[in-house]
Amino acid sequence: MKRTRTITAVIVLAACVNASAAEEEGKADGSTPPNPLIYINTTFENASPLFWEIGDSGEVNVFLVYDHERSSPNRAAGHWHFCVEAPKGSELTIVLNNFLNIYNGRKGSPAKDTTISYVSADGKNWRASETELLEDHRLKLTLHMEADKMYVARLEPYRLSDLQKLLDEIRGNPHIAIAKIGETVEGRPLEMLRVGSHDAPHRVLIRARAHPWEPGGNWVVQGMIRRLLKDDKKARAYRDRYSVHIMPMANKDGVARGWTRFNVAGKDLNRNWDQPADPAFAPENRVLETWIESMITEGRKPDLMIDFHNDQGGRLHISRPNVNLEPYLARMSRFESLLREHTWFTEGATGGNYRTLGSIGEGLLERYGIHACIHELNANWIAGLDAYPSGKNWELYGEQLCEVFYELFDAL
């Protein structure tokens, strides 16, 4: 017999008030072993949809809920973010389930490559906690209750409220412009930020958070923006040479809901860039296309585009559509060299005939002639720092990228 979260609130309260009596009764009738868990709360932004139950051995089984792609068998579950309520000082074994994803029509599990989760007593200060891979695509972690509420997440979260705090912080700065360029499927505003002068000779376009579970790009652009807005000689030199245009959170609806990969209309925002976006199902992509087309019309086409993601590899994905690749590959080679020289990046770039069909990198290069790439950020380990990934370490990377762009455009 298993106890599930369908138990009514009255029963849960009774168990809290008379926990010892309930435990003795459980032992006597052979039902679920005693467990200190009171509740798993998911009533906050970016919390992942899930259900849970107490297993036969007393473990807490958490079942993540897949999000699905439109007109496809693809499904994804790889984001978790929830709050555990249990007595301070207790310890729980949590087992995460439902990692049998389908990607490009093939089954595969992100659990086999996941080595850490993150825990926090306040939802603000996070530390890495190792996971253990179990059979049947499950992950196990041990949670020590340092307080009566502990947050658990795949990575250090970056939420809509965090973006709003950043926008409030920088709004009104003379070196930044914030423009609404459209809305998500559910009507949330989509911003385009410009850091630096409208008339700067070079332009970088950056998109973050096409996939909701991947917060690394948000931390990177936050660090980059803050560095570019400093009032020092180097920051002024950066702004004189280039401007950075940032779509900071493309999939706001998915981030708010705690989803893994798709937008709420079932579209992968890093696919189908080989053709114009459907404004009904992927308005997040269509507004970006419209913005790009207006920049080209004004004679201000971006010189470089980076789409930030998280994965377990951390590499640059170099685009290879069927166009003249020589100037593009030369710039990407220079870009990679500068990353190794000025940042903690060590992982390298994809080579040979590697292609991600329909990705934004390939689509922007093929359709608009923009030198675009996808930059993965390793979700398990930063080899160049010999450290776990964190918001602070990703912000540092954003700061370091400012020098990379400066030198990249020096040769132009």
Q: Which pTM was predicted?
A: 0.92
DSSP classification of residue 128: E
296-317: average pLDDT: 98
Task: Note the pLDDT tens digit of each residue in 87-122.
Answer: 999 999 999 999 999 998 999 999 999 999 999 999
Looking at the 3D structure of the chain, how many domains does it have? 2
Q: Quick one: 144 and 260 in the same domain?
A: no
Q: Quick one: 123 and 201 in the same domain?
A: no
Helix (H), strand (E) at residue 339: helix 326-342
Q: Quick one: 313 and 375 in the same domain?
A: yes
Q: Quick one: 129 and 49 in the same domain?
A: yes
Q: Quick one: 218 and 306 in the same domain?
A: yes
Bridge partners of 134, per DSSP, are 138
How far is C-alpha 340 from the chain's CA centre? 23
Q: Quick one: 398 and 343 in the same domain?
A: yes
Q: Is the CB of residue 267 less than 8 Å from the CB of residue 228?
A: no
247-263: average pLDDT: 98
**pLDDT at position 367 over 90:** yes
Q: Quick one: 33 and 166 in the same domain?
A: no
**pLDDT at position 12 over 90:** no
Residue type at 410?
A: D
Return the minimum-mean-pLDDT range out of 4-18, 38-52, 248-262, 362-376.
4-18
137-147: average pLDDT: 98
The angle formed by the CA atoms of residues 201, 204 and 205, to the nearest 5 degrees, is 135
Q: Quick one: 211 and 277 in the same domain?
A: yes
What pLDDT shows up at residue 114? Answer: 97
Q: Which CATH number covers residue 291?
A: 3.40.630.10
Q: Give residue 17's domain range.
A: 3-153
Q: Quick one: 318 and 402 in the same domain?
A: yes
Q: How many residues does the chain have?
A: 412
Task: Note the pLDDT tens digit of each residue in 310-341.
Answer: 999 999 999 999 999 999 999 999 999 999 99
Measured CA to CA, the distance from residue 222 to residue 406 in angstroms comes to 18
How far is C-alpha 400 from the chain's CA centre? 20
3-state secondary structure of 13: helix
399-407: average pLDDT: 98
**pLDDT at position 218 over 70:** yes
What pLDDT shows up at residue 214? Answer: 98
Phi/psi at 132 (nearest 5 deg)?
-125, 125
Q: Which CATH number covers residue 89?
A: 2.60.40.3120
What pLDDT shows up at residue 30? Answer: 56
In the Cβ-directed half-sphere of 80, how many Cα atoms lie within 13 Å? 33
* pLDDT > 70 fraction of the chain, expressed in percent and rounded: 92
Bridge partners of 182, per DSSP, are 190
**pLDDT at position 20 over 90:** no
What pLDDT shows up at residue 87? Answer: 98
Q: Is the CB of residue 118 less than 8 Å from the CB of residue 82?
A: no
**pLDDT at position 303 over 50:** yes
Task: Note the pLDDT tens digit of each residue in 45-100.
Answer: 999 999 999 999 999 999 999 999 999 999 999 999 999 999 999 999 999 999 99
Measured CA to CA, the distance from residue 312 to residue 117 in angstroms comes to 13
**pLDDT at position 5 over 70:** no
Nearest alpha-carbon partner for 374 in 341, 397, 350: 350
Boundary of a domain, candidates 153, 174, 191: 153
Q: Quick one: 218 and 292 in the same domain?
A: yes
Answer left, alpha or beta for residue 407, where phi above 0 means left and psi between -120 and 50 means alpha.
Answer: alpha
Residue 31 confidence class, pLDDT cut points 50, 70, 90: low
Q: Quick one: 130 and 189 in the same domain?
A: no
What pLDDT shows up at residue 26? Answer: 47
182-190: average pLDDT: 98
Q: What is the mean pLDDT of the chain?
A: 93
Q: Quick one: 202 and 346 in the same domain?
A: yes
Structure tokens at 302: 């971006």
**In terms of DSSP bridges, do strands 75-76 and 106-108 run parallel, antiparallel, or are they unpaired?**
unpaired
**pLDDT at position 32 over 80:** no
3-state secondary structure 357-398: CCCHHHHHHHHHCCCEEEEEEECCCECCCCECCCHHHHHHHH
